[in-house]
Structure formats: C-alpha cells, structure tokens
C-alpha cells in the first residue's frame, strides 16, 4: 500500500463529513488534503485510543519528531502519512509550526478535561481546528490573506459544532468542553452531563451554544474574499453540511446526551454537490 493509499483508507474509514468535500478537488489538491486529514486523525487517535496518558505523551512526542523530520533537509520521516504529506508542504506553504500546534491541541486533552470559560475553550479550538482550517485553505488555494482569517474562524465553527454533537459521548469519556461558567449560568451541572440528565435548562444551554456556533459560521463567511470563494468551495461544502447538522440537532430538541445525531451519507453528498454548483 502506497502512502497516498494509506491516507485515503484512513480518511474513508473515519466516516467524516470532510471526505465528501474532498471528492470535488483536483487530484493533487485532493491528495494533499487527504494526507493532512489523515495526519489529524492519527494524532487524534493517539489520545482518544490511549488508556495510559504517559504512553499517549510518548506517542505524541514521536509524532513531533516525525513532523520535524519531514521539514529537515536531511530528515527521514517513516510514517506513511508523513511520506504522503511531504511533497505538498512547499507547494502549498504548509507551516511546521501549524502542524506542531495541532499536536499541542491533542496534548491539551491529556492535561485538562474542563474549560472555565469561552476564551479558554477558544484557545483549545484554535489548536485542534482553527489551525487545521488555515492549512486546509492553503491547500484549496489562497490569493488574499483575509481568506486565512475566514478559514480560522470556520475551523472554530466546525469545532463548536463537534462539541455540541458530542456532548454525551465526550462526557462518558470524562471530558466536558462546555465552559464551566456557562454551565453555571444555565444551572446545568457536570453531574447532569455525566448522568445524561436532559432538562429544559440543558436545552437552553445548548440553544446558547448553537447560536454562538451559527454566528461563527456567519462571521467566517463574511470574511471570505470573493476572489477566493471558488477555490474555497470544499470549506463552504463542509459549512453547509455542518450547519444542516446543527439545525437537525436543534430540531430534535438537543437530545445529544444519549445519542449522536448525524446526517446520512447521501444527504451529505447532496449538500456538498448543491454547494459546489452554487459556488
């Protein structure tokens, strides 16, 4: 199996909505974004699948060395993801510090499972999603620096959507990403989340979270320069899919503590295609 085939398999197996937006890219850009996504999945799995925090830190340190080796003139990265990504770093100006920042974000999950306020959560989101947005936009094509600001904000919106969708699943893993002061503001306790206690207070809290995520999408789209809109269609496709998911979660009454609400593959493909044609 070639490095590109490995990354393709990793991406398909993840079942991520992002896969549907990749399908519409030219081959070279599709290979690059698939390799980037596979890298994100690998380092995320390092933390999510580890039963021992110390072992996860060792593995993340190994990934840091792999990234550094990929950028070194005489470096010899060994992982298929790094071998697949390496040919694209100069072409799309992918920064080493951004890839390392993603690893920093994964390590944050080992260091804390609660966030006191939104600024603290936003810092985490920048590492695990905002930076990914910047790297992705660079691969899709950028002619105006404002496009990177759009991509960073869009990454934040995606991560806030993930947090809303996965509240119950994350709680069962001992992680609560909803800011502590906002839980207190709406009268929802950590025990309510850990014990999947749905209530009107919880619905009000989730409505607040959803409104903020939707506002982030609006702010991101307002930042996208017209001349880069066509190149950035994959991100716009994802925004269409994720905003529809948010609508479904709200329409379902925010029952995210005991189930994971998702869209069917056919619906995701339809939303991606409709956005592609429109833009």
CATH number of 1-111: 1.10.600.10
- Look up residue 232 and give its two tokens: 């950035």
Q: What are phi and psi of 133, to 5 degrees?
A: -60, -45
39-89 pLDDT, tens digit per residue, is 999 999 888 776 777 888 999 999 999 999 999 988 789 999 999 999 999
pTM of this prediction? 0.93
Residue range 135-162, pLDDT digits in tens: 999 999 999 999 999 999 999 999 999 9
Give the DSSP per-residue string, 113-181: S--SSHHHHHHHHIIIIIHHHHHHHHHH--SSTHHHHHHHHHHHHHHHHHHHHTHHHHHHTT---S-HH
207-218 mean pLDDT: 97
Within 13 Å and on the Cβ side, how many CA atoms surround 181? Answer: 6
Domain(s) labelled CATH 1.10.600.10 in the chain stretch across 1-111, 113-279
CATH of domain 113-279: 1.10.600.10
Cβ neighbors of 247 (< 8 A, separation 6 or more) are none
What is the H or E stretch that residue 238 is in? helix 233-251
How far apart are alpha carbons 21 and 60 in whole angstroms?
28
Could you report the per-residue pLDDT of 2-53, keeping only the tens digit for each?
999 999 888 887 767 777 778 888 999 999 999 999 999 999 988 877 677 7
DSSP state of 95: -
Q: How far apart are CA 242 and CA 236, in angstroms?
A: 10
**Residues 169-180: tens digit of each pLDDT:** 999 988 999 999
Query: Residue 10 burial by CB count (10 A; 0-12/13-18/19+): exposed, middle or buried?
Result: buried
Would you tell me the crossing angle of helices 27-48 and 131-140 to the nearest 10 degrees?
160
């Amino acid at each position: 199996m070639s490095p590109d085939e490995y990354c393709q398999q990793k991406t398909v197996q993840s079942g991520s909505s992002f896969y549907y937006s990749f399908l519409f890219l030219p081959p070279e850009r599709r290979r690059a974004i698939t390799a980037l996504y596979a890298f994100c999945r690998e380092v995320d799995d390092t933390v999510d699948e580890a039963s021992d925090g110390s072992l996860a830190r060792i593995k993340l340190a190994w990934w840091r060395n792999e990234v550094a080796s990929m950028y070194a003139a005489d470096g010899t990265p060994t992982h298929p993801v790094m071998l697949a990504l390496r040919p694209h770093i100069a072409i799309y100006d992918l920064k080493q510090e951004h890839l390392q920042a993603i690893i920093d974000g994964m390590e944050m999950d080992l260091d804390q499972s609660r966030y006191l306020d939104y600024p603290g959560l936003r810092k985490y989101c920048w590492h695990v999603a905002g930076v990914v947005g910047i790297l992705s936009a660079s691969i899709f094509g950028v002619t105006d620096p404002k496009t990177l600001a759009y991509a960073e904000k869009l990454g934040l919106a995606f991560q806030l959507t993930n947090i809303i969708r996965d509240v119950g699943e994350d709680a069962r893993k001992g992680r609560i990403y909803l800011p502590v002061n906002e839980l207190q503001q709406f009268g929802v306790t950590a025990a309510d989340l850990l014990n999947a206690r749905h209530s009107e207070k919880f619905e009000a809290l989730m409505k607040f979270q959803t409104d903020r995520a939707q506002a982030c999408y609006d702010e991101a789209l307002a930042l996208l320069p017209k001349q880069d809109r066509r190149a950035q269609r994959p991100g716009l496709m994802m925004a269409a899919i994720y905003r529809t998911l948010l609508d479904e979660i709200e329409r379902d009454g925010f029952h995210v503590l005991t189930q994971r609400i998702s869209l069917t593959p056919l619906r995701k493909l339809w939303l991606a295609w409709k956005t592609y044609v429109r833009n």
